[in-house]
Structure 1
Amino acid sequence: MPHIDIYTKFGCGYCARAKRLLDEKGAQYEEHDITMGGPDRDAMLERAPQARTVPQIFIGDRHVGGSDDLAALERSGELDTLLAS
């Protein structure tokens, strides 16, 4: 399974929804809480300069996007393929 990074903020419902889907898939992920900014926020913006909302999800080297993007991958069946690579 590829390395997964998810950038979140405290109390974010979209973040919780994305993590729940990844948990249901049995995916291991590294969560980076950027609630107070800091170096993790800077790292997120370096990886996805246009990102202004959370969550921001990366599977391997691929920037998936947010919760809605992750759900769309699940509906299309592409998420399983990404997680298997």
Structure 2
Amino acid sequence: MGDNSTQGAAQPPITLYTSAICGYCVAAKNFLQSRGLAWDEVRIDLDPDARERMVARTRRTSVPQIFIGEVHVGGYDDLVALHRAGKLEPLLSGGAA
């Protein structure tokens, strides 16, 4: 635990703000799952406080809203665009997008 080096840094947590009836939420989860990635899901349809926090963090009301660590990726299309641009892997490694 005493190692503060950035070498071999753990992957930043992935957070998905989602709701039950959301095709793009399912697509985002399938995309992440296909890459063997885990995420924390926050259901804004079940938790009004979580919805308020999401809007405060993103200034958006649509779902999914995806974060890698503290970096706001955006929605599903943004996630795929980041991947296609070759910027997703560095972000997952703890670097900048």
TM-score, with length taken from structure 1: 0.90
Per the alignment, residue 45 of structure 2 pairs with 35
Unaligned runs of at least 5 residues, structure 2: 1-10
Q: Give the length in aligned residue pairs.
A: 84
Q: Which moved more, 1:36-45 or 1:64-73?
A: 36-45
Deviation at 1:38, TM superposition (A): 1.0
Two-structure CA RMSD over aligned residues (Å): 1.2
TM-score, with length taken from structure 2: 0.80
* Greater relative contact order structure (CA < 8 Å, 6+ sep): 1
Q: Percent identity?
A: 45
Q: How far apart, in 1, do the equivalents of 2:13 and 2:56 lie?
A: 18
Per the alignment, residue 64 of structure 1 pairs with 73
Name which of 53, 64, 83 aligns with 1:55. Answer: 64
Structure whose CA Rg is larger: 2
Per the alignment, residue 8 of structure 2 pairs with none
Unaligned runs of at least 5 residues, structure 1: none
Deviation at 1:11, TM superposition (A): 2.1
Stretches of 4+ aligned residues off by more than 2 angstroms: none
Structure with the higher helix share, 1 or 2: 1
